[in-house]
Structure 1
Amino acid sequence: MTFNTKYPFLDTTNDYTPINDIQIVTPNDAADLPNGPCKALIFMGAGTIKLTTPAGTTVTLTVSANWFGVTYIRANRIWATGTTIAASSIAACY
């Protein structure tokens, strides 16, 4: 476990640390998320999202208003093809 005495919550090796950063996602068919696998996603719009998990599974999910807010789904990649949610309506949490 990494422990930072200045800010101990920067340990991102387990599920019990809080979210430290949020980045708006730009879906991309050729590249993974720039900051590595995220801890969760925030949806601020309805539609579909195609993503690849850290385990390598690629799925397309339908997101409704019930999902708006933080959803604890880890993702390595958010695909442009198959994602209909506006890019500014998806954020990755680290």
Structure 2
Amino acid sequence: MKTPKIAYKPVGLVLGAVSGMLAGAAFKQAWKAISHDDDAPDATDEDRSWGEILLAASLQGAIFAVVKATVDRAGAAATRRFTGTWPG
């Protein structure tokens, strides 16, 4: 394994945690705007419909994927700026 790739591993772990927190916060805000409810439904919440649960899961997945890709890409670009090497 290349040295820059190894050196990027801890950075990638931190960025993963940060992206998870950002995605969670973004999802909460998006869900509030869509449903006017503070809490998104859990898959086992029997008081919520299938449609509502699947909508929440789809929205959460999409937001997580976009935030993760954005943070990962920005981290890789910053690594290249500092080291001159792309970490991937």
Fold shared by both chains (TM-score > 0.5): no
TM-score range, shorter chain: under 0.3
TM-score normalised per structure 1: 0.21
Q: Which has the larger radius of gyration?
A: 2
TM-score by length of 2: 0.22
